[in-house]
Amino acid sequence: MVEILVIVDAVAPGFWERYSPSRQLLMKTTHLLYRMAWLGIRLGRVSFARKDQERLRRLRTLSISMAALLPRRLRPEGYVTEVARIEQIASYAARNYKPSPVKANVLLFTSEMRPTGSLMGNDMGWGAILGRQVRLNSLPGNHTEIFHPVPASIMASLVRESLGLKSEATSRT
């Protein structure tokens, strides 16, 4: 038996196909504009007074995110090859996955860099797939940053809580 299903920043299978091509375009444009605004805000927050390692990590994350906004022909070759490979694997998995409702506790995590509301849906399509309402847990950062220390510790804490385990700080004492 599955005790907990953890979904990390992913739309449900068939999410985009549920909508008309014009609605898909509107949703994807909204997502792109939201992402660009978020990147602008993040660039403004990069502090050059921080340690060089932290500054370089943030700049690397931002550059990867910005490269994703470029048309394919303008992206760095290695980036395009790796993204294409990952997209091919993910597309194959999404096409062949046949989800069904589960009775397990579900934790759905998403990055704060995501438009929500009636246009995009608040549960990324998982409620329809799982056959029940799903609560969204928003994490700081974008898709690539949610496994950095702060968001990852938030995820770990919520998973431990959901499993009825003691927090890491409590178990050390």
Per-residue pLDDT at 43: 65
CA angle 42, 48, 54 (to 5 degrees): 75
Residue 69 phi, psi dihedral angles, 5° rounding: -80, -20
Whether the CB-CB separation of 65 and 46 falls below 8 Å is answered with no
Burial of 137 (0-12, 13-18, 19+ CB in 10 A): middle
Counted domains in the chain: 1
For residue 28, give its domain range. Answer: 4-172
Task: Report CA-CA distances (Å) from 109 to 76, 81, 102.
Answer: 30, 28, 17
CA–CA separation, 49 and 43 (whole Å):
14
**pLDDT (tens digit per residue) in 49-86:** 555 666 666 666 666 666 666 666 666 666 667 767 77
Residue 120 structure tokens: 């995009």
User: Considering the entire predicted model, what is its pTM?
Assistant: 0.63
Helix axes 52-69, 77-96, angle to 10 degrees: 70
Residue 111 pLDDT > 80, yes or no?
Answer: yes
Residue 153 structure tokens: 């510790």
**pLDDT (tens digit per residue) in 122-163:** 788 888 888 888 888 989 877 778 888 899 999 999 999 988
